[in-house]
Amino acid sequence: MAALPAPPPARRPAVRSSAAPGRRGGRLARCAAAAVLAAAALAAGSAANAANAANAAASGTFQQITGFGTNPGNLAMYSYVPAGLPAGAPLVVAMHGCVQTANDYYRNSGWTKFADLYGFAVVFPQTNSTNNSLSCFSWFDAAKDSRGSGEAKSVVEMVTKAESLYGSDSHRVFVTGLSAGGGMAADLLADYPDVFAGGAIDSGLPAHCATTQSAASGCQNSDQRLTPAQWGDKVRRAYPGYGGPWPRVAIWQGSADTTVKPVNATELRDQWTDVWGIGQSTSATRSLPGGTTESVYHDPYGRPAVALYSIAGMGHGLAVNPGTGTDQCGATGSYFLNTICSSYYTALFWGLDGGGTTTPSLPAPAALTATAAGTGSVALTWQAVTGAASYAVYRDGAEVAGPTTTSYTDTGLSAGTSYSYRVAAVDATGTEGERSAAVTATTAGGAQLCFTDNNYNQVKAGRATQNGGLTYALGSGQSMGLWNTFTTHTLRQTAPGYFVLADGQC
């Protein structure tokens, strides 16, 4: 099962949208789906046995999570959480390929092994045949893969939900995916560099290579003849005005891939090294198992920023290597190929083993306060952090300022609107530390509605959601306690579909 199934001898597009195809296109899509599913069925027995063995030691829980947001992309959310996972652990988002499911990726990719070993939660988004005839993530559709839109927004809503449920460290959130899932992972890194600290694209496409389905096949099969700067511009345009820090990116590619041609790995390398401003000269190279060559590109401080893993002779799929060794993982099957455990080396590259470069060096600023200073501004103050050269101020997840003092006034805001703020210390090398807990402030003016009721009725009225017997405010995700008629709270609506706790404030 792959994100973009290998085409038969007759030429056909490798991606199908949810729009109704013509008669010939419809037959080809159905035949392609049938061929891939048949291949999966042939491998199902051995793959299932291997998968069960590979995951026998998993100690946590794999389950579906509902009520994670407005979900404009019509996705499903699944998660794996190791037993006894403490608050403040990292979070990994792992995206399946076409004709696959979240369960396939959970069983075969190997990520649960390292979630148990290194201590982090994993979110497995899942798309469906209603979104795309082959259940592909829509990496090629500008209406679905852009910041604030469609599937991309749904995935970020899952991140917010996971942070609320598991206390995940918002500074250590990573995304990875196979083929179409890899293309969407690249798009997410471009759209939300303020959310993801790193990513991995496995047999995937450069960020925003295509913006329409008709352009998708060209991206998969041919050199787009763009300069590194032109590739980098596609990332920079995804979130205008963002100035960093940028996510650290791992790129995995088989040299014999005929579905997503190896030139895509080169283009990904060009794209992300340009974004980092570090050029395309390799900083270090080494040989790894499975005929794999690792080429690393360092940031200005000598730390790995981009890594390209080229696997000699491997076709289209995710690199796994079943076994009990620390550097082994996963289960083989359709488009899960026995070469090298890519999940292990990706986890090391991100620093999930505790030895990487992504762990912040400075603590979060304490005592952050946010106070409305009129109809259009909010005043912030916080305690100084030893070793800080400056501070990064985030409003609603986006960096808005970098003051060198311990105060900042955010201006040009809308009246009667609630804003969420976090602050992080930045050292002399430009490395950002832990972000503070979020605080909110509501600017003066503007009419806002308040609703006081029990949690059961708040959910029934659509102002809150419930999961596992607990209630969460719609939009903000703030915990409201047990889902029953005995627990009462006041919710204030600050925007359509967005409510915040306002007990005693209305």
pLDDT tens profile 279-323 = 999 999 999 999 999 999 998 778 899 999 999 999 999 999 999
Residue 213 carries which side chain, given as an amino acid letter? Q
**Comparing 328 with 396, which gets the higher pLDDT?**
328
Start-end of CATH 3.40.50.1820 domains in the chain: 23-350
Mean of all residue pLDDT scores within the chain: 85
Tally of helices (H runs) and strands (E runs) in the chain: 10, 26
- Can the peptide bond before residue 363 be classed as cis, meaning omega within 30 degrees of 0? no
Among the listed ranges 3-17, 119-133, 193-207, 463-477, which one has the minimum average pLDDT value?
Answer: 3-17
What is this structure's pTM? 0.65
Does residue 25 have a pLDDT over 90? no
Those residues with Cβ within 8 angstroms of residue 24's Cβ, 6 or more apart along the chain or in another chain: none
Q: Give pLDDT, residue 1.
A: 42
**Comparing 123 with 6, which gets the higher pLDDT?**
123
Does residue 41 have a pLDDT over 50? no
* pLDDT tens digits along 227-249: 999 999 999 999 998 887 899 99
Start-end of CATH 2.60.40.10 domains in the chain: 369-442
Among the listed ranges 52-61, 170-179, 474-483, which one has the minimum average pLDDT value?
Answer: 52-61
**Cross-strand bridge partners of residue 253:** 310
Question: Burial, 243: exposed, middle or buried (Cβ in 10 Å; 0-12, 13-18, 19+)?
Answer: exposed
List 133, 138, 168, 179, catalytic entry? 179
Determine whether 179 is an active site residue.
yes
Q: Give pLDDT, residue 274.
A: 95
Band of residue 446 on the pLDDT scale cut at 50, 70, 90: low
């997840």: which residue's tokens? 397
CA 25 → CA 10, 16, 22, 259, distances in Å?
A: 12, 9, 5, 18
Q: Give pLDDT, residue 58.
A: 61
Q: Give the C-alpha separation, 63 to 115, whole Å.
A: 15
Does residue 43 have a pLDDT over 80? no
Q: Give pLDDT, residue 255.
A: 97
| Continuous segment of H or E residues that includes residue 232 | helix 228-238
Question: Burial, 83: exposed, middle or buried (Cβ in 10 Å; 0-12, 13-18, 19+)?
Answer: exposed
Q: Give pLDDT, residue 87.
A: 92
Domain boundaries 23-350, CATH class: alpha beta
Q: Which two tokens stand for residue 59?
A: 């100690």
**Average confidence (pLDDT) over 361-376:** 84
Those residues with Cβ within 8 angstroms of residue 425's Cβ, 6 or more apart along the chain or in another chain: 362, 363, 364, 365, 385, 387, 388, 390, 391, 392, 432, 433, 434
- The topology under which CATH files domain 369-442 is Immunoglobulin-like (2.60.40)
- The candidate with the shortest Cα–Cα distance to 16, out of 33, 41, 35, is 33
Q: Give pLDDT, residue 275.
A: 95
Which region holds residue 288: left if phi is over 0, alpha if psi is between -120 and 50, else beta?
beta
Residue 153 phi, psi dihedral angles, 5° rounding: -65, -40
- The answer to whether the beta carbons of residues 124 and 159 sit under 8 Å apart is no
